[in-house]
Each structure stands twice: as structure tokens, then as C-alpha cells.
Chain A
Amino acid sequence: MPDDLNWAIGGEAGDGIDSTGKIFAQALSRAGRHVFTSKDFASRIRGGYTAYKVRTSVDRVESVVDRLDVLIALTQRTVDENMDELHEGSVIIYDGERTTMQDLEIPEGMIGLDVPLKSLAEDAGGAIMRNVVALGAACEVAAFPIDNLAESLEKRFGGKGEAIVENNKRAAELGQEYVQEHYDHEFDYDLETTDNDYVLLNGDEAIGMGALAAGCRFYSGYPITPATNVMEYLTGRIERYGGTVIQAEDELSAINMALGAARAGARAMTATSGPGIDLMTETFGLVATTETPLVIVDVMRSGPSTGMPTKQEQGDLNMLLYGGHGEIPRFVLAPTTVSECFHKAVEAFNLAEKYQTPVYLASDLALAVTEQTFPPEEFDMDAVEIDRGNVVSEDAIDEWSNEKGQFQPHLATEDGVSPRAFPGMAGGAHMTTGLEHDALGRRTEDTDVRIEQVEKRTRKVETAREREDWSPREFGDEDADTLVVSWGSNEGAMREAMGFLEEEDVSVRFLSIPYLFPRADLSADIEAAEEVIVVECNATGQLADVIEHDALTRVKRINKYNGVRFKADELADDVKRALGESAEVTA
């Protein structure tokens, strides 16, 4: 058996599945092993099948596989739900004294370990510890030192007093001893420990941590699965830096509060999932046209509508790229791993402020609930740089004011980026509006000013295209005939899949796309490949559409955006001009 173990605990929601799984995952991580966790959960609080799965290896693990080696089953349904992943030699730990588990039939070739979890827990001090008894039994099966589990129990229960910690350690020992005494199987596992230091965290936490590192001082949000953890992480931590979290009355309010805070000069963020993005869309346009830097996190889940709140999907790409009426400059970033959630959050704040543009950070449920181990240096705080863009100082405010001394927050500069003055700054008082406005921020319907402002906002994106690196993450054989492209959380699974493919002599080149807008032009890569495959967690292939679109022949374009409809004669001129002919049609 490889050193790679797939372990799970499953039962009913409310059975303490999550905390038990986390204790085990932390024990493994602290023992210097890599961990990758995943969760099966239903959208209800009590009752309903739920499971916490841990994959662990000394080498990095970056995905889940279709295999379960050790299963702690607190209910019959846990076994049924996982039958497909169980295999010959799989170990099932269960409590045969439990009425619902008495008739459990262990399939041929699998090993059933009937351990009286509840009564052993009572011996250790209370039935509540039955899951810990099971963990002790699992340590015996996996040959994982129970001392490492004890350490994790200390961390978990230390705050509740010495006695509770001791009882839990005893419960684990009783579980281990029971298996030693009653079963004489030779288990194949040997979970070695290493001296490596790892931290274990999920994507929501990594986004929150990235936000704090990047100087985010204001967060407003409305609870929604699977984005709520971002708010829960920031609450209680952001205060250390003087910042605040506001739980708003709804997403409309959340994004408007964040907009207000951003205009007051704070680095501000909100996070939600698809239904919340829908509600935020009107204000998203306001954020963009007022050129307010704002980070909006979309932790995607299955849609449409309330869809499947606890299931994975990458279905919001079109919404993030195109959502909102009118034309809205924006950036769309999509982290591809848990640690990239941190890095992309930091980057999102810098992009937002450098270009005074809203930034969508598209995470997904798989990243949000996956806990993954990393060496702490992966989150190198010294490398975090904060770039606030063109914030003017009080001394320099005159340079950005017009001849009447009025500050120009929407000045159409060459690179499209305007000066920014924070409220409170003397001489900087200005307004801005969601209506089309002039350099002073005041409403206008002047066609020339309209054109100037549209072009200015668009130019910011062009400037960013030139100044920033939008390259994909590249893996595999550069010269392979097959090109695989994906975005978001699929990266780990695809990388591991490449290993399997290699064993069968299938070599692929893999581009993982973290920047969805602006995005790298893949036309050349696509032309160079014989086969192009786009991998994404949705039904219609939203990234595939975009890639096909990008690689099409370039078309000539005629565009008008001064607020006046096309006129026939002018249009005829435009067509001739587009065809390279000199234009002079008269009506």
C-alpha cells in the first residue's frame, strides 16, 4: 500500500463530523504530513448525511481521488454513500452496539472493525467522546502515532481544562487498545511523520488572510454558503488592525457600504455567492463608473437561483465577465489553489486601487471548503507589497485641479488612471455620480465628454493589459499535441490526472487560467495544438466559449457610444473607413 491514505468520517449533521475530521487533519499536518480535505454536506443543520474526508501523504496532495481506505461510519448511510469508493481491503470502523448498525454487512474483502465507540467513550468519561474513540482506532489501523493525535486534542480542548483533555486522550487510547486486543489483522499502512512544519487552511480563510495582509480594513457582507467563512474569519481579526466588519441587512447594502468605505479611502471588500452577486450587480456598475476600488469575492456554488447551496460549480463566469447593464470595466481573477486564494486576494486589492476599478475574485465551493497543507513560507508576508495607485497628497492637489481650483477625480489622463483624493483632504472636495460625468465628477450629457469618459475607463483596462502579467500557470509537456485549459479549483485534479495519463503515455500541456479578464490571448497556443480540451465545473462550457471566441478571426468593428443612435450616412462612412477606403458619403 502506498503511503497515501484516504480516510473519512461520516454520519448525520450534528454528529460532530466536522470537528472530528479537523482534529485528525490537524494531527496529520502537525506530524509533518500533507493533507487535502473535502466535505460532503447537505444544506441543513441537523440530520442529513455529512462526511469529512482526508487525503494524506508525505508528498504534496492536491486533489481528491475516487478511493477510500479507512472509513469511520457513524451511520449505515455512511457506508452506503461511500460504497463506490470503498475497495477490497478498505477498513470500516463502526459501532455494532448501535441499534442502527447491528445488521451492517461488511462487503466481501473489506475489513469491518466493530468497536463499541459509545461504551468505550463512557468508560473514558462521556459518550460525547465516541468520535475520539474512533480516531484512536483509526490511528491503530493507519499506524499513525497516537501521540500526534494527543497533541491535536490538546490544541482543540486545551481551553476547556486539563480534565477534558485527559479524558479525550484516554478515549483515543481505549479505541486504539480495543483494536489491538480484538483484531489481529496486519494493516498495510504506516503513516510516517516528518519534521516539516505545515499550516492547514481553506480557501475562504486564505482569502480573509490575504485581505488582512493587503491592508483591508473594512468588510461588509451578508451570510451565504459558501462565502460566510470569509466574514467569520475577518470578524475578530480585522479589529486588531483597527478595521471593522459589518454584517449588512442584505447584499445590496453590503456592496454599498463597501463602496462608501472605499470612497472614504479604506481598502474595502465584500464576499458573497451567486445569488448575492445578482443583487450586487446594479451597484457594481456604480462602483465601476465612479472608479471606486473595490474587491468583490464570489465563492461560486451550484445555480441557478438558490440551486444547490452546498455543491460545487463554476457557473458564474459569464455573470462575472458580462454582468451589469452598459459596459463595465472590471478585472476578474480566479485563484486556482487554496494558497492562490491568498495571493490573488492581495493582488486584487492592488489592481483595484492602481486602476480604480472593481475586481471580482472568483473562488468556488471546492476551494472554500478544502483545507490544504502548506509550508508557512507559502504565505510570505514580507513579499506582500501594497500599491495604492494614484493617491494625491495635499501638497500636490493643485496639480490635479482645474483653473478654478476644483479637484478633478475623473480627469482623463493618458493612461486612463485619475488622481484620487480621500475625504478630509483639504482642497480635494469633489462629487462623483453614477450618471455620466465630466472630469469634475458632475453629471453631463455632452457627447464629447461622454466619449472622453468611456474611452478613459476603457483605457485603464488597456493600460493594465500592458503593465501587468496576465499569463496562465503552465504545467506539463510544452510540446504536447494535446492542450488542456481550465480555471479555478480544477488545477490540482488536472495536475494529478496528468500523472495518471503519463503512465499511459499520454502527454499533455496544461494551462491553468487565473486571470479571466483581462486574459492571456491563447490563440497561438490553440493553433499550435492538435486537440484542445477545456475543463470546467459547469454544463455549458463558459470558458470554452470564451476561448473559442478569442481564437476566432479578428473582425473589424464599428462602435459608437456618444449617446446618439447611428445615422445612415455616417455609418456608410464608417464602413468605408473600416474597409480602408477614404470616406465621404453624403445623405
Chain B
Amino acid sequence: MSSQVRFTDFKSDKQPTWCPGCGDFGTMNGMMKALANTGNDPDNTFVVAGIGCSGKIGTYMHSYALHGVHGRALPVGIGVKAANPNLEVMVAGGDGDGYSIGAGHFVHAVRRNMDMTYVVMDNRIYGLTKGQFSPTSREDFETSTSPDGTHQSPVNPLALALAAGGSFIAQSFSSDAQRHAQIVQEAIEHPGFGFVNVYSPCVTFNDVDTYDYFRDSLVDLGEDEDYDETDYDQATEVILDSEKEYQGVIYRDDESVPYNERMGLTEDLSDIPSGAPDDAMDLVREFY
């Protein structure tokens, strides 16, 4: 980990195939800046990506990385971190990946509070499969599979995280580059599960949740001097407020102890002897 690391060191030489203007560009740039700013380098960083347009991020970044199956990136990240807590683990994916097929893992990853960062590129649509509604789509959102609306209320990912005992819950907007990078950086620095829901507009399939919409409606909690991000009640109020969109660190529990610390996981488990452990016969003698 050297201070000479620049955020471009996290860029791979692969050109993104995202649509021009896709929110995922900004989300990724912010992640790379945050990683560099926190003193990480590609060789100590492990990025796990979901499936979707958003999940392509692992290809465009340079680090140790795995692009998994749909919805199951979080458990991979947990396994990586448990096996080597010295690594900086970052998991990224879409709202479909994280809150639909992967919703179960999301809730449990929040509860487990492993020291890692989870970035969700929330475009309120399925991008890669070409425009079906997603779990965060509005109820009246019309798509190829919801011609007259979705007939169900959207998931509130922040509320899910809070209810599951989240220790760091934040939201950012991919086109507010500096704020977004700063929020992801705080998530990385948080000892525990740092969750950031990022509004990353899909310019091709979502004409409702657009850059303009977010720009006009976003309230930055960082600009509110009275907002205390360690105050659970204030956080609850913000999270349940369906009238406005917020950005900033919404809730942070400074008392929480991450799972890896609770479990005493400090070692790099890749290092094993070339034979059975010296005292292995004790394992046998237990059965006398």
C-alpha cells in the first residue's frame, strides 16, 4: 500500500461498453478514487461484482476481482474477507442483483457486519435484460413487463438495511462526483459493513428516474448542520420519508464491532503447512 497510488491505477485497459451517459461511469470513478484515497492498491483489493450492466464494473477496474452469478456477490465477498482480512473487499452490483434475486443475502450480509463495502448502482430498472421493472421501480412505472405499472410497492433498501441492524447506511448520486467519492470513502473507512446505495441513472431504459430528477430532488444531509448521522431516530425519519431523495451518510453506528473482529479473524488463511498439522494425531486420539 503506497501513497503513490493514483485512482487511475484501478482502471483496467478495457473500454467500458456501458451506454454513453450511463450513471455507472460516475459510480465506478468514485469507487476508484475512494479506494486510492484510503491508501489501497490493486494488489490488496478484491472486487466482487454482481450480474447486470452494473456488474461489468469488475472488468473495467484493475484489482483482484471476481464476477459471479446473479445476486450472490455478497457471500463471495464475505468468504474472501474471512479468508484474508488484510484485503480491502468491495462488492458492487445493481438493484436487481442486490434487492431482488440477492435480497436474502443482502439482509444477512448487513446483519453479519463483515468489514467490507457494498455499493449498489440503483437505476430502478433492469438494464442488462433491456428494461424490465426492478425491485426499486415505482409502483406506476411502465415497462415491457409492467405495461400498466408494477402493482407492488418498491423496496426501500435503506429501510431494509436499518431493520437488519446496518452499521453504516449511506446514499449517493453518481453524477455528484466529489460527494459520491467521499461517501464511498467513508464507507470503506467504516469498520464494518459499509453500505452505499448509489443513484446511477440508466439513460437508455429509465426516463423517470433521470439525472434531472435526482438533481432536482436530492437533499444533501451533509449540508444540514442539525443532522447527526449517529442518531438512529433521525436516520429512521429520513429513511422513511418518501417525499424526498437524500444523499449523505444516513446512519452510522460507531459502537458496532465487525464480524471478523468478533470472530478473531486476523490471519491470511492461504498459508498452510505442507503436511498435516504437527498435533494432528490429537484429532484422532479424541476418538478413543
Please give the residue numbers on chain A whose beta carbons come within 8 Å of chain B beta carbons, in ascending order.
Answer: 29-30, 197-201, 205, 209, 212-215, 217-218, 220, 237, 239, 241-244, 246, 248-250, 252-254, 256-268, 282-283, 285-286, 290, 376, 379, 381-382, 384-386, 388, 404, 422-435, 442-443
- Say yes or no for B204: interface residue by CB 8 A criterion: no
Q: Closest CB-CB distance, A299 to chain B, in whole Å?
A: 19
Q: Closest CB-CB distance, B81 to chain A, in whole Å?
A: 8
A–B complex contacts, Cβ < 8 Å, 12 sampled:
A30-B288, A199-B285, A218-B82, A241-B277, A248-B75, A256-B75, A259-B66, A266-B269, A404-B13, A424-B86, A433-B58, A434-B67
- Say yes or no for B203: interface residue by CB 8 A criterion: no
Residue of A nearest to B108 (CB): A249
**B269 and A217 contacting across the interface, CB-CB below 8 Å:** yes
Which residues of chain A are near B264, meaning CB under 8 Å?
239
**B43 and A429 contacting across the interface, CB-CB below 8 Å:** yes
**B277 and A213 contacting across the interface, CB-CB below 8 Å:** yes
- Bound Cα distance A74, B120 (Å): 59
- Bound Cα distance A531, B261 (Å): 62
Which residues of chain A are near B76, meaning CB under 8 Å?
256-257, 259-260, 263
CB interface residues, B 1-53, toward A, < 8 Å? 12-14, 42-48
Interface core residue of B81, B104, B263, B281 (most chain A CB under 10 Å) = B281
**A428 and B84 contacting across the interface, CB-CB below 8 Å:** no
**B83 and A249 contacting across the interface, CB-CB below 8 Å:** no
Residue of A nearest to B70 (CB): A282
Write out, one digit per residue, whether chain B residues 255-270 have a CB within 8 A of any chain A CB (1) or not (0). 0000000011101111
Which listed residue, B58, B269, B280, touches A261 by the CB 8 Å rule?
Answer: B269
Closest 9 interchain pairs by CB?
A260-B79, A265-B270, A433-B67, A215-B272, A431-B65, A264-B83, A199-B287, A257-B79, A256-B75
Which residues of chain B are near A241, meaning CB under 8 Å?
277
- Bound Cα distance A350, B263 (Å): 28
**A244 and B263 contacting across the interface, CB-CB below 8 Å:** yes
A443-B284 contact given A386-B274, A427-B43, CB 8 Å threshold = no
Q: Closest CB-CB distance, B269 to chain A, in whole Å?
A: 4
Which residues of chain B are near A429, meaning CB under 8 Å?
42-43, 45, 62-65
- Say yes or no for B69: interface residue by CB 8 A criterion: yes
- Bound Cα distance A263, B269 (Å): 11
Q: Closest CB-CB distance, B221 to chain A, in whole Å?
A: 31
Residue of B nearest to A264 (CB): B83
Which listed residue, B66, B105, B283, touches A433 by the CB 8 Å rule?
Answer: B66
**A209 and B269 contacting across the interface, CB-CB below 8 Å:** no
A261-B83 contact given A385-B274, A429-B63, A432-B66, CB 8 Å threshold = yes
Q: Closest CB-CB distance, A164 to chain B, in whole Å?
A: 21
**B268 and A424 contacting across the interface, CB-CB below 8 Å:** yes
Q: Closest CB-CB distance, A579 to chain B, in whole Å?
A: 42
Which residues of chain B are near A215, meaning CB under 8 Å?
272-273, 276
**A433 and B59 contacting across the interface, CB-CB below 8 Å:** yes
Which residues of chain B are near A220, meaning CB under 8 Å?
75, 79
Q: Closest CB-CB distance, A494 to chain B, in whole Å?
A: 26
Which residues of chain A are near B267, meaning CB under 8 Å?
242
CB interface residues, B 63-116, toward A, < 8 Å? 63-69, 72, 74-84, 86-87, 104-105, 108
Which residues of chain B are near A263, meaning CB under 8 Å?
46, 64, 66, 76, 79-80
Residue of B nearest to A378 (CB): B284
Which listed residue, B69, B82, B265, B270, touches A257 by the CB 8 Å rule?
Answer: B82
Additional pairs, 12, CB under 8 Å, beyond known A209-B284, A263-B80, A429-B45: A197-B288, A213-B276, A218-B83, A242-B267, A244-B263, A250-B104, A253-B105, A256-B75, A260-B75, A285-B69, A422-B270, A431-B47
Residue of B nearest to A430 (CB): B64
**A249 and B269 contacting across the interface, CB-CB below 8 Å:** no
Which listed residue, A242, A290, A425, touches B269 by the CB 8 Å rule?
Answer: A242
- Bound Cα distance A199, B65 (Å): 45
- Bound Cα distance A315, B103 (Å): 32
**A435 and B67 contacting across the interface, CB-CB below 8 Å:** yes
- Bound Cα distance A261, B79 (Å): 4
- Say yes or no for B275: interface residue by CB 8 A criterion: yes
Q: Closest CB-CB distance, B36 to chain A, in whole Å?
A: 14
Interface core residue of B45, B64, B67, B72 (most chain A CB under 10 Å) = B64
A283-B64 contact given A218-B83, A261-B82, CB 8 Å threshold = no
A423-B275 contact given A205-B287, A252-B72, A253-B108, CB 8 Å threshold = no
Residue of A nearest to B274 (CB): A386
Which residues of chain B are near A381, meaning CB under 8 Å?
275-277, 280-281, 283-284
Which listed residue, A205, A249, A256, touches B68 by the CB 8 Å rule?
Answer: A256
A423-B78 contact given A265-B270, A381-B280, CB 8 Å threshold = no
Q: Closest CB-CB distance, A423 to chain B, in whole Å?
A: 4
**A218 and B269 contacting across the interface, CB-CB below 8 Å:** yes
Residue of B nearest to A260 (CB): B79
Q: Closest CB-CB distance, A444 to chain B, in whole Å?
A: 11
- Bound Cα distance A246, B260 (Å): 11
A268-B86 contact given A243-B269, A263-B66, A283-B69, CB 8 Å threshold = no
**A376 and B284 contacting across the interface, CB-CB below 8 Å:** yes
**A218 and B104 contacting across the interface, CB-CB below 8 Å:** no
Which listed residue, B64, B82, B283, touches A431 by the CB 8 Å rule?
Answer: B64
**A432 and B269 contacting across the interface, CB-CB below 8 Å:** no
Which residues of chain B are near A30, meaning CB under 8 Å?
288
Which residues of chain A are near B12, meaning CB under 8 Å?
431, 442
- Bound Cα distance A260, B59 (Å): 17
Which residues of chain A are near B277, meaning CB under 8 Å?
212-213, 241, 381
Residue of B nearest to A292 (CB): B66
- Bound Cα distance A145, B276 (Å): 37
**B280 and A384 contacting across the interface, CB-CB below 8 Å:** yes
- Bound Cα distance A241, B284 (Å): 16
Q: Closest CB-CB distance, B76 to chain A, in whole Å?
A: 4
Which residues of chain B are near A250, meaning CB under 8 Å?
104
Residue of A nearest to B270 (CB): A265
CB interface residues, B 234-256, toward A, < 8 Å? none
A260-B83 contact given A212-B277, A265-B268, CB 8 Å threshold = yes
Which residues of chain B are near A198, meaning CB under 8 Å?
288
Which residues of chain B are near A286, meaning CB under 8 Å?
68-69
Which residues of chain A are near B67, meaning CB under 8 Å?
431-435, 443
Q: Closest CB-CB distance, A86 to chain B, in whole Å?
A: 31
- Bound Cα distance A427, B14 (Å): 18
A379-B284 contact given A264-B46, A266-B83, CB 8 Å threshold = yes
**A264 and B270 contacting across the interface, CB-CB below 8 Å:** yes
Interface core residue of B46, B61, B75 (most chain A CB under 10 Å) = B75
**A442 and B14 contacting across the interface, CB-CB below 8 Å:** yes
Interface core residue of B12, B77, B104, B283 (most chain A CB under 10 Å) = B283
- Bound Cα distance A370, B267 (Å): 36
Residue of A nearest to B86 (CB): A424
Q: Closest CB-CB distance, B104 to chain A, in whole Å?
A: 6
Q: Closest CB-CB distance, A408 to chain B, in whole Å?
A: 14
Interface core residue of B13, B67, B79, B105 (most chain A CB under 10 Å) = B79
Q: Closest CB-CB distance, B257 to chain A, in whole Å?
A: 16
**B287 and A431 contacting across the interface, CB-CB below 8 Å:** no
Which residues of chain A are near B275, meaning CB under 8 Å?
381-382, 384-386
Which residues of chain B are near A427, meaning CB under 8 Å?
43
Interface core residue of A201, A254, A256, A434 (most chain B CB under 10 Å) = A256
Which residues of chain B are near A209, meaning CB under 8 Å?
283-284
Interface core residue of B62, B272, B288 (most chain A CB under 10 Å) = B272
**A264 and B79 contacting across the interface, CB-CB below 8 Å:** yes
Q: Closest CB-CB distance, A271 to chain B, in whole Å?
A: 15
- Bound Cα distance A433, B87 (Å): 19
Which listed residue, A213, A268, A388, A404, touches B83 by the CB 8 Å rule?
Answer: A268
**A431 and B75 contacting across the interface, CB-CB below 8 Å:** no
A212-B283 contact given A246-B82, A268-B79, CB 8 Å threshold = yes
**A386 and B273 contacting across the interface, CB-CB below 8 Å:** yes
